[in-house]
Amino acid sequence: MGCGDMTGKLVLVTGAAGYIGALVVQQLLDRGYRVRAHDKMYYGDQGLRAVRDRVEVVQGDLRRFDPVALDGVFAVIHQAGLSNDPTANFNPRANYSINTVATQVLAEACRQRGIERFTFASSASLYDAGLGGEDILKDENTPINPLMPYSLSNFEAERILFHMRDEHFKPTSLRHATVYGFSPRMRFDLVVNTFIKDALTKGEITVHNGGEMWRPLIDAADVARAHIACIEAPVERVDGEVFNLVYRNYRILELAHFVIDRLKARGHAAAIKVEYSGHPQRSYRISGEKITDRIGFTPQVSVQQAIDEILDAILDENGKLTTNILHPRHYNIEWMTLLHEAEMLVKATGSIY
């Protein structure tokens, strides 16, 4: 059965101040939901500042989740967690605790409360076999064998969620392709966004391995829309399902040319430097047909459109940068490393004042 009119229903969004979470919150509000925003606030509250007076904010660590945050909640959209390989590799134990254990803690609380609707932000990196892997279009039935800490933590979280599934708890896992696009909590450590940053600050984009690697891509706003579509779909169509989220599959060199072309249209000149080193790179393609067939969801935002939206947000009418796109807060591993170093220093010195 579908859920009917959603106006006024309360949704808990974890990782709500994050790159995708902030967009989920905004879209939910636009659709008439009430939102409880849960976040550790590793990156501050910038992602929620524009809507802070319209949401209930709960700052906390999901590993020590207080079930009171589920009071009155209709659905949970779980976006929290470490979200790329560098941060996972920096501290694999913490990555497992944050991505897997915390997901289990949250899901158990939801099941005990009888909260059916639960979407989990997983990753299409589960399919990656590198440049040496078989070049096939992978769907949700393709066997996977994740090896890296980030992919493993998502895979284990999926297994836990589906093992917990019962008549009162209906989890759905969405495996995100590599994300691009603008967000109030902006990241410049994702391939398209990074190419924009490099073109603007260095005048040059470097691609490795000849740019031959395949990568599935999707806009952050489309990811947010997909999660909302899943909590609105008839529950029997999403119960216990895994969905790939992808706009299209691209070669890396093609993405670099998209950025160069969109910048050229604004009078910015930049070059592409192609290297043929053996630098390890992900390479895989995925199919997104299942979610379209099952609930009618289709991503809408092209790479070119997203590039223009980012440039509109960070350049003034004269083409000058209006924000510090090199700030470490825009780069997950740089920011987490700084936080860790600061934490160690404060532990050694005690309170600063």
271 assigned to some structural domain: yes
Question: Is residue 291 situated within a structural domain?
Answer: yes
Q: Which residues pair with 12 in a beta bridge?
A: 36, 76
Residue 223 lies in a domain: yes
Query: What is the pLDDT, as a whole number, of residue 302?
Result: 98
Predicted pLDDT of residue 3: 54
Q: Which domain holds residue 119?
A: 10-333
Residue at 352 is within a domain: no
- What is the rounded distance in angstroms from the CA atom of residue 3 to the CA atom of residue 18? 27
Residue 86: pLDDT over 80: no
Between 42-51, 96-105, 114-123, 202-211, the lowest mean confidence (pLDDT) is in 96-105
* Assigned token pair, 179: 């994300």
Distance CA 219, CA 199 (A): 20
Tell me how far CA of residue 71 lies from CA of 57, 58, 64, 76, 326, in angstroms: 14, 12, 16, 12, 40
Q: If you search the block for the tokens 């009119």, which residue do you land on? A: 5
Q: Does 131 map to a domain?
A: yes
Task: Report the mean per-residue pLDDT for the chain.
Answer: 92
Number of structural domains (the chain) is 1
How far is Cα 107 from Cα 282, in angstroms, rounded to an integer?
Answer: 30
CATH number of 158's domain:
3.40.50.720
Q: What pLDDT, in 10s, does the model give residues 177-218?
A: 999 999 999 999 999 999 999 999 999 999 999 999 999 999
**Distance between CA 47 and CA 37 in Å, rounded?**
11
Q: pLDDT for 267-281, tens place per residue?
A: 999 999 999 876 667
Between the alpha carbon of residue 251 and those of residues 81, 221, 281, 284, 285, the distances in Å are 27, 22, 12, 10, 10
- Residues 134, 138, 140: CA angle, nearest 5 degrees: 140
Q: Does 343 reside within a domain? A: no
**Is residue 119 in some structural domain?**
yes
Task: Tell me, yes or no, whether 342 lies in a domain.
Answer: no
pTM as predicted: 0.94
> pLDDT-based confidence at 294, cuts 50/70/90?
very high
pLDDT exceeds cutoff 90 at 340 = no
